[in-house]
Amino acid sequence: MKKVALAGILLIPLMILLYRILGGESPDPLKEIYTYTGLGALALLFGTLALTPLSRYSSPKLISYRRFLGLFSFFYATLHFGAYLILDLSLEWSALWNQAVQKPFVLLGFFGWMILAGLALTSIPKLWKRFQRGHIVIYLALWLGAIHYFMAQKVAQSPHYFVLFLALLLTLLKAIRLSSRLKRLSNKL
């Protein structure tokens, strides 16, 4: 029941977006679609990775929502990529490669989406045990998404730098945790 409520909350930005576009309240619907879905994917990716340190210092139950948030991040990323592919490129895959040459952030976003797609597929309980260790590539997806967001801006401002700072912070926290785990393992040997 808690996950159903959380899903409802996570869908609120999408409902607001639909309301604004269908109600004619958006001056630039295409830009708004990209913004809502892209920032939604990135925010949920940050939330997914922040749950591990938060659960260690507050409530261990938080960790049970990590997979759920990760899948929602993929959902928003798929909406973001799908909107770009359909609305901008008219489903022409060759145009994607042309755009990637002109705008490298497009390629970064595509690679980030590919990683999230692989993670979503291997999050199926039957596959999880086999691919669990490989899920560390979520940090690569985070960096690709953060840099994609940063490079997509015409003029970088404080929020754009803050996204890079958060990516660095979460990566450092993971590196510290891995380092301490390696030290414990080497001490046992």
- Specify the 3-state DSSP secondary structure of 122: coil
d(CA 146, CA 161): 9
pLDDT tens track for 20-49: 999 888 888 898 999 999 999 999 999 999
Type of residue found at 183: K
pLDDT tens track for 97-147: 888 889 999 999 999 999 999 999 888 777 656 666 668 899 999 999 999
Type of residue found at 176: I
d(CA 170, CA 158): 18
Range of the domain at 23: 2-188
- Are 43 and 9 a contacting pair, CB within 8 Å? no
Quote the pTM value.
Answer: 0.88
Quote the pLDDT of residue 131.
62
Which residue, among 161, 7, 159, has the nearest Cα to 71 in the 3D structure? 7
Number of domains present in the structure of the chain: 1
pLDDT band for position 174 (cuts 50, 70, 90): confident
